[in-house]
Every structure is written in structure tokens, then in C-alpha cells.
Structure 1
Amino acid sequence: MLLENLSLLFFKNYEEATLSFSEHINCFIGDNGSGKTNLLDAIHYLSMTKSAFPGTDAQSIKQDEDFFMVKGRFDISDDKHTVQVSLKQGQKKTVTHNKAVYEKISDHIGRFPVVLISPYDTDLIREGSEERRKYFDSLMSQYDHVYLEQLIQYNYILKQRNSLLKQFAERNYYDRDYLQILNEQLIPLGEELAQTRQRFLVDFVPIFQKHYHHISDSHEEVTLTYKSQLAGDDFAYKLQQAERKDLALQRTTVGPHKDDFVFLMDGNPVKNFGSQGQQKSYVIALKLSHFEVMDQRQHHKPLLLLDDIFDRLDEKRITKLMQMVAAHTFGQIFLTDTHLERTDKILEGLSESIRRFDVKEGQVKVIQ
């Protein structure tokens, strides 16, 4: 799969930009704050219909403008696909594929897979369970549309249940029958989500362990486990037991929306016992495993986005990644860096198809 070109209009710090890409390596070179990462984020929008970073879609509209548009053309086995994502202030986001508007934006997820490796990846280790759930939910949603639809439906019913619990408190009444109806809708979805996550790890963990040992050249044992509230008990029983607590707190306190993926090294939490280098190796191995799983399931390589890794990774880990680039493990790559000379030195001899772009304050031009 290739992204042939990209067009932006009023996206973040770009008024307008049009770029055509190399089929292998594309480098965005510029100072910090110039807009390099915004170009990667635009590519992420074309794949996932949303930003890779926290914030609302409206925050992607350029200051003093009232809409943005991101457009790109993909090539999959000589089959062309034009994708456009646009948003006008106060309106719903629109996503089109070959000019046809999706009735459900979720139908787009997984068609054009992408994997991003960024300096913020260690947040998966440092932050709370929500960050890890979001990451793995996004990963699984890209290749398992049934899982995505179940997740959307679960979150919709969960929102209704939480709203009802809040109404009980605000209006001082209790409708057990209505609560039970929502429980009966939530239970099968929640149990299936938990089971799918558990099955996913059976295949994912060996791939992850392989990549960790390759990246780190170390012998510590790493793994990840799924910590589910539903383990050993059915969801209906858990909801019944938690009902008084839910009523008091005005929210649903049990279910897969509260579960966690636990990152372990030699049996201990990576967050507490892993060095900075080990944590970096851990999250890179996660992303490389993400790439391999998507490649296996989708039968075409995802786009790989590398954001400022030359600034944040040590020489050993960069060397390992570049060995994989040289071996054509990846397909099309987009990377950012602040120094052209460093980028050229690292990429020297790795590919005959490299395109470099000079990025300055929302302006982009090809470096000849």
C-alpha cells in the first residue's frame, strides 16, 4: 500500500500544501514547531479519520479559519483510492472514499492501516489504564470490524447507563426495570469484548517478545497480560454486585471499560522496574508487533510514521530499526527530523527511493 500524495487546506498550521511522495522513504526536515508532526498527523487522519494526539477535531482547524480539509490518494495493487476528511466549525466531520460519503465513519477504519512511533509512546507505560485500552482497542479495530462495531455499541449503551444513573441521583427516583434493560444489552457485548482481547494476546505476545529481544539485545523476560474484572465471574453477577456502588457514584464501575493491559518485565511492572532504555525498547517492540499483526491480517503493509525518533532514541535502537528498513520489513515510511545531515547519514545506502521535504512555519518544499 502506498500513499501517493497529500493535500491540506487550513489544517493546523498549514494554509495550503500539496505533496507527492516516494514509494519508500519520505523525510520531513525542519525545526521544532515548524509543522513536521502535523504532516504525519494529516496522514493519520486519512487512515483513522482522527488525530493521533489528544484534543478535538476542531483543534485541527487553522487559527482564524472555520474548516479544514485533508485529502490523499492511496494505491493498493494498482487500485487507486482517494480519501478526504473535512470538518467545518459547528458541523459533523465528513469522510469520503472516492467521493462517496461514508454513512458510518467506522466503516473506513482498517482500510488504510497506519502505525505511528512517536516520543509520546512511553505514555502507554507511565499513564493509566485508559491509555492502554485505547491503544489496543485502536489496534484491534483496524483489522477486526466486528470488534469495532461491538466496541462502539458497548460504549453507546454504557453512556446511556451512566446517564440514567446520574438521573436517578438528580431526580431522586429509581427505575430498576429500565436499568435491567440496559444491563441485558450491555452484558453480552462486554463479555465478548473481554474474550476478544484475551484471544488477541495469545497471538500477539509471542510476536511482541520476538521484537523486544531483537530491539534490546537483552535477556530479560517481557510479556503483557490482560487484567479483566470479568475473569472468573460473569458480567451479570458483577453488575448486580456493583449496583449500590454505581448508584452512589453515578457511573458504571465494572466492565471491560475498566480493564487494563499490564506490561511486565521479569514478572514486575515495567513502569516501576524498567529503566528508561528498557521502557523505550518495550514500546517500540509494541509498535513493531502492531505493524507485523496488521501486515499479517490485512495482507498489505501499513504506512509507518516515525516522529522525531532520531532525537529520542539511542544509536543502538536506531541501528536496529534501520536494519529492518534495509531488509524491507516495512513498506512506505514517513519520518521527521530536525537535521538533514543526520537523516542523510542514518539513511545512507538504505534505499534508492528517498524524498526529502524542507518544512518551515507551515510551508513545505522538496529538497533537491
Structure 2
Amino acid sequence: MYIDKISLKNFRNYKDESIEFSKDLNIIYGQNAQGKTNIIEAVFLCASGRSHRTSKDAELVNIDGTGFSILLELKKAEGKKNIGIEYERGKKKIVKINEIPVKKIGNLMGNLLAVIFSPEDILIIKEGPSQRRRFIDITLCQLKPSYFYDLQQYNKILLQRNTLLKEIQNKRSLLDTLEVWDYKIAELSSRIMISRNEFIKRLCEISRRIHFKLTDGSETMEIKYSPSIDLHNLSDPLELTNEFVRQLNNVRASELRRCVTLIGPHR
């Protein structure tokens, strides 16, 4: 698989530009502030549906435009494929695959695999766990489309559960409904944490080999996943779900007092 061509209209500093790529190595070079990173950003946007630099699509629009469009043409073993992204200010972003709009952004995942390394990635090491979770989530969403749906559903249920915890303060009868949300969030949490744990183990294997060579065998690197709930070597989703429910029961009083979910993949 390789990118054959990308066309940009009113994207960042590009008003109307088409760029063709080699199927081998491509080097993008030029003076500062000429738009090199913007090209990389457009490619990553077509791979993941989001920018690696901003969460606001409006910031991607050229200063003289009202919206932007990207058309990326791929060549794969099974034939040609194109990915299109269109956005107008005040409207919802449209993603198309072979000219057909996709209903869910998850349908985009896996069509184009992209790994991006930028100066901001040092924050994965220097900043808090939220940056590391973001890195893992972005990677897994591309490798495993089902993970994207689990994460999307989890964030939705997390918001609803937190709202319920607040409402219980004024209406204690709602406390009985919390068990239903506990199981829903536990079920999704177990799948997300197992996927993250498997990914970290694989990442550790690769990183350890590379680091061993770089240090001429003098150092060993270790990467571990430390979620808010101890996995106890549990790899079965049902066992982990039940353990998660038990942990939620243990922190029930604290959650009701603070009106927020205290354990889960978000922490």
C-alpha cells in the first residue's frame, strides 16, 4: 500500500494544491513555515479522521476560506482507493471512502495506516498519563477498529454515569439504577484494558530489542501498563468485568461524594 496523490483545497496554507508521491521513500523539505507539516497533518487526518495538532476542525481552514477539502488517493494490493474529507464552518465534517460518505468515523479506521512522530510526542514521556493514553488510543484505533467503537461507547457511558452520580445527590431513589451503569462501564472497561495491555506487551518487546542494540546490551528497557484497577493477570473479559464491578462497589461511597467515576480506562 502507498499513497499515490493528495489534493488539498483551503487546507491550512494550501489554497489549491495537488502533490504526487513515489511508492518508495518520500522526503518533504523546504523553508520554515512553508507547510511541510501541514502535508503530513493532512495524511494523518485521512488515516485517523483527526488532526494530531488540534481537536478543532475550524483551525484547519485556510484564512481566506469557509471550509476545506482533502482527497487522498491510495494504491493497495486489491486496487485503488480514495479517501475524502470535507468540512464547512458550522457544519459536520464529512468523510468519504471511494466517494461514498461513511456513517461512522470508525469505518475509516484501517483503510490507511499511518504512524506520525512529531516534536510534541516527547510529551508522551514528559507529561502525565493522559498523553500516554492518547498515544495508545490513537494507535489502537487504527490497528483494531473494534477498539474505536469500544472507546467511543465507553466515553459516552462514562459521561452518562457521571451525570447520574450528580443527580443522585438530589434524588436518592436513582441509586438503584447505578448497578446497570456499573455493569455496562465494567464490560467496556475490561475490553479496553485488555487491548491496551496486549498492545503494551507487544510494544515493550519491540522497544526492548531496539534499546538493547542502541546501548550495546548495557541496558534493558521495560514498559508496563498500570491501569487504575489491578488486572491480576486476568485475560478473560468476563472475569475482569466481574472484578471491575467489585472495585466499583468498593469506591461507591467516594464516587457518590465526589460525583465522578474514580476507576476505569480514563484514569
Task: Tell me the TM-score normalised to structure 2 length.
Answer: 0.89
The alpha-carbon deviation at position 115 of structure 1 amounts to: 0.7
Q: Deviation of residue 190 (structure 1)? A: 0.8
- Residue 191 of structure 2 corresponds to which residue in structure 1? 192
What residue is the counterpart of 1:153 in the other structure?
Answer: 153
Aligned identity (percent) is 28
Q: Which residue of 1 aligns with 2:11?
A: 11
2:264 to 238, 252, 255: 255
Code of the aligned partner of 1:30:
G
1:33, 1:216 → 2: CA distance? 36
Amino acid of the structure 2 residue aligned with 1:257: H
User: Contact between 2:67 and 2:89, CA under 8 Å: does it hold in 1?
Assistant: yes
The match for 2:35 is 35
Counterpart code for 2:254 = K
Alignment of 1:84-123 (within 5 A): 84-123=84-123
Aligned-pair Cα RMSD in Å: 1.8
CA separation of 1:122/1:73 partners in 2, compared to 1, >3 Å: closer, same or farther?
same
Partner of 1:173: 171
Higher strand share: 1
Deviation at 1:23, TM superposition (A): 1.5
Quote the offset at 1:151 in angstroms: 1.6
Residue 67 of structure 1: how far off its partner (Å): 0.9
Measure how far apart 1:78 and its partner are. 5.8
Query: Is residue 205 of structure 1 aligned with residue 214 of structure 2?
Result: no
Checking the alignment, whether the CA contact within 8 Å between 1:191 and 1:230 is kept in structure 2 is no
Runs (4 or more) in structure 1 with deviation over 6 Å come to none
Pairs aligned (count): 256
**Residue 122 of structure 1 aligns to a residue in which SS?**
helix
Residues 11 and 69 of structure 1 are in contact (CA less than 8 Å); yes or no, is this contact kept in structure 2?
A: yes
Which piece of structure 1 moves more, 83-92 or 245-254?
A: 245-254
- Contact map agreement 1:162 1:250 (CA 8 A) in 2: yes
Select between 43-52 and 231-240 the one with higher mean Cα deviation: 231-240
- Note the C-alpha offset of 1:17: 0.9
User: Take 2:109 and 2:29, find their aligned partners in 1: how far apart are those partners?
Assistant: 29
Deviation of 1:87 after TM superposition, in Å, equals 1.2
Q: Distance in 2 between matches of 1:209 and 1:8?
A: 39
Correspondence for 1:239 = 248
User: For 1:195 and 1:35, how far apart are their aligned partners in 2?
Assistant: 39
Partner Cα distance (2:17, 2:41) in 1: 14
Q: Is the 8 A contact 2:147 2:192 kept in 1?
A: yes
Matched, 1:129 2:129: yes
The structural deviation recorded for 1:104 is 1.0
Q: CA deviation at 1:124?
A: 0.3
Aligned equivalent of 2:139:
139
CA offsets per residue over residues 246-294 of structure 1, 9 Å max, x none?
2333221111211xxxxxxxxxxxxxxxxxxxxxxxxxxxxxxxxxxxx
Distance 2:27 2:160 in 1: 45
Gap regions ≥5 residues in structure 2? 233-239
Counterparts of 1:282-361 in structure 2 under 5 Å? none
Q: How many Å apart are 1:218 and its aligned residue?
A: 5.7
